Amino acid sequence: MRHRLLTALLPAALAALVGCSSMPPAPSGRISATSFRAEQIASPAAREVGMYSLMMLRTGYQFGGKNPSAGLDCSGLVTHVYREAADMRLAGNAASLAREGREVAVDQLRTGDLVFFNTLGRPFSHVGIYLGNGEFVHAPNSRGQVRVEKLTTLYWSQRFEMARTLLN
C-alpha cells in the first residue's frame, strides 16, 4: 500500500519541485552535437559576459530574484551578468529579453549570446547565457542553484526556441 502511494505521489512531487524548467512542450530536437562544429569568435565584451556568468555558479535560485546574495532566477541571472560584465541595463523576464538584440542561428552561437527555451508550455519561458562548446549557464530551480548544462541533452534540445545576441 505504501509503495503504491509513493508511486502515485512521486510524479506530482517532482512536478512541484521544478519551476523555471518544467512542463515540457512537444519535442522538437533542433540541436545536436553537429550544431557546434565551428565555434564562432566572441568579442572581448561577450567573453567577459561568459566568464562573469561562471562566477555565478552555485548561486541559489529565487523566483523573481535579481540579486545574487538573495538568489537569482533565469532572467535575474542574465540581467545581473550583463549589467556587471558589459555595463548593459536589461530588464524584464525571459520573454521580454527574447525581444532584445538580434536572432542568431545555432551554428553561429558565440559566448555571451542568450539561449531561450519553452519550459512552461509557453514561448520564451526560460533563458540562459551561452558559454561555447554547446554549453550554457542558467538559473533553474529544480536543483536550486545556477549551473552549466549542455544544449544537446534531450531535455534542453527539445525545448530550445532560439538564440539572440546582444553584443557584437
Residues catalogued as catalytic: 74, 126, 138
Residue with cell 533563458: 127
CA distance linking residue 23 with residue 44, whole number of Å: 36
